[in-house]
Amino acid sequence: MLALVGLPRDGWTQGVKPEDWERASLRLRYGVALRDGEQAAPSPGFSYSGMTPNDMAAGATVYGWEWLGVWAGFQREGFALLRKSAAVSEGSLWRVSGGGVARLRLGPMRAELSAGYGFAQLPLFSGAIPGAPAFQSGNRHAALVGGRLRFPLVFRVQGEVRAEYPWVLSAKDAGGAEAGSRGFEVGAALRVPLVRASRWSGALALDYQYIQDRLTASRARSEQTLQRIGAALEFSWFDAEASSAGAPVPSLPSWGELALRVVDAQTGEPLAVPQVTLVVAGEAREPQLADPEGQLLERELEPGEVVARVQAEGYQLAEGSVTVGAGERATLEIRAHRLAPQVGRLQISVTDKRDGTPVPNAVLSVGERELRPGATGQVRLVDVTPGPVSVRVAAPGFQSVEEAALIVAGEEAVLPVQLVPTRRVGYATIAGRVRSTGGRSLIARLVIPTTKVRSRTNAQGSFSLKVRPGTYRVIISAKGHLTQTKSVTVRDGEQAIFNVDLFPRSRAR
């Protein structure tokens, strides 16, 4: 490994593009094995466990096409059975395999599927008694199916998981008799690129492997689990068209990734399918759509600052930036704000057509809203939906009218409404009730000096006088009470109502 680091190189590796996939690779592994097993036999069985150093393995893959190739591998498993530091028996077990392999790219991940043949030696012991069992081995021939998945992590480190399962074709014990067998293998590794030079690269792999095996013979059954931990050097060779022309192979580019998410600024909910434009190295890329969850993953971005501009229907243009590092995945969340509602304003004034005076008691109906202008006769609306608006106006003593106004977003429309009085009827009514200050109804006399109207209240003190529209002075008198004078104004067709309380004369004195 130290020799690899010291070699001349064109750049640190962090992965390759599909067109730069290696043509061949070789992995050499060295480590230790932790073994745990047992053997059951007609005589008393026994179990064993321990650690074995000098555990070695090698594997190679050659691709004749970009996606299809062959592979081969072997493993040596040193075995020693000890009792109180004294060797009882020892030996070596071998595993050899080979076959075909296919690879494909799944986004930033790389998958390999393999199928082939595997030969494995499995431990057996003769004379399985507490005395001195002799080490032997059975064997297994199997069709192997397996897979491996490699994916990026951080700082150019890659993860690897793998599995292999043998479909047993035949198995035999140490004496060559037919036996049964089964098992499986799983593993994982961390792969750290070290160097890239011309047409090859080197990497360090920290590897873990878990194996479980069983061999069932006629007179014994042996089971074991094997955990292998070690370090490996991996060498890869690449195609290089430039090498045939004598030109050096350029170093692999360093890329970064961006995971983008767009949400509503108020609710935090994702925005479905917003349009995203990325500005990389000062150049805007083609707009692209995020997924229904508002997410977008962009790979192979040049390291540096990346600006993301987001457009979504009903939202303001949003923007955010983040620094993307080589071999790293940057994350960015953009919070988009909704557009302000597009509305207009409407000012309505209601006046009497005869003299232009405000009509304070009018009732205005604008859409679903009912408004009253008050003493000024004016109403101002600031949130009216653009388009034509119908305005209905009604007021006592006036004819009802319906007007229309056209509302433009961001502008104010002015709508003057002039009401025409209803047809004159030529008279008005003055009505009310006369009581004493003690609350007793009085029979009183009512006189309007400017007219010939003279009347009396009934037994309940009520009265009703029909007069022409105008302003009148009404004199109210009753026996034993002080006389009062009231001034009242009535309009055409209207009724003016007032009540009078007369003071007794004795109380006045």
* Measured CA distances, 374 to 324, 363, 494 (Å): 63, 10, 20
Cα 155–chain centre separation: 26
Structure tokens at 497: 């109502």
What is the phi/psi pair of residue 439, to 5°? 95, 5
* Measured CA distances, 242 to 156, 248, 375 (Å): 26, 6, 91
pLDDT at 438: 86
pLDDT at 83: 59
Structure tokens at 236: 């890869």
pLDDT at 127: 60
Please say whether the beta carbons of 488 and 422 come within 8 A: no
pTM to 2 decimals?
A: 0.47
In the sheet with 484-490, reading across from the earlier edge strand, the strands are 454-456, 445-447, 470-477, 484-490
Please say whether the beta carbons of 59 and 230 come within 8 A: no
Please say whether the beta carbons of 219 and 129 come within 8 A: no
Q: Which residues of the chain have pLDDT under 70?
A: 1-20, 42-44, 81-89, 127-132, 198, 240-253, 423-425, 507-509
Which residues does residue 149 pair with via DSSP β-bridges, in sequence order?
111, 161
Please say whether the beta carbons of 166 and 133 come within 8 A: no
Q: Which H/E stretch holds residue 60?
A: strand 46-63
Which residues does residue 59 pair with via DSSP β-bridges, in sequence order?
27, 73
CA distance 262 to 278: 13
Please state, as a whole number, how many other Cβ atoms lie within 10 Å of the Cβ of residue 152. Answer: 21
CA distance 138 to 35: 17
Please state, as a whole number, how many other Cβ atoms lie within 10 Å of the Cβ of residue 239. Answer: 16
pLDDT at 462: 94
For the chain, which domains are there? Answer: 2-243 (2.40.128.100), 256-336 (2.60.40.1120), 344-419 (2.60.40.1120), 428-508 (2.60.40.1120)
CA distance 219 to 196: 55
Which segments within 385-482 are labelled E, that is strand?
Answer: 387-394, 401-407, 412-419, 428-436, 445-447, 454-456, 462-467, 470-477
How many helices (H) and strands (E) are present in the chain, helices listed first? 3, 32
Which residues does residue 40 pair with via DSSP β-bridges, in sequence order?
221
Please say whether the beta carbons of 306 and 280 come within 8 A: yes
Q: Which H/E stretch holds residue 378?
A: strand 378-384
Look up residue 398 and give its DSSP letter: B
Kindly tell me the burial class for residue 256, based on how many C-beta atoms sit within 10 Å of its own C-beta (0-12, 13-18, 19 or more). Answer: buried
**Residues whose CB falls within 8 Å of the CB of residue 253, separated by 6 or more in sequence, listed in order:** none
**Residues whose CB falls within 8 Å of the CB of residue 124, separated by 6 or more in sequence, listed in order:** 39, 136, 137, 138, 173, 174, 215, 217, 220, 222
CA distance 462 to 499: 9
Can you tell me whether residue 477 is helix, strand or coil?
A: strand
CA distance 473 to 488: 7
Please say whether the beta carbons of 302 and 327 come within 8 A: no
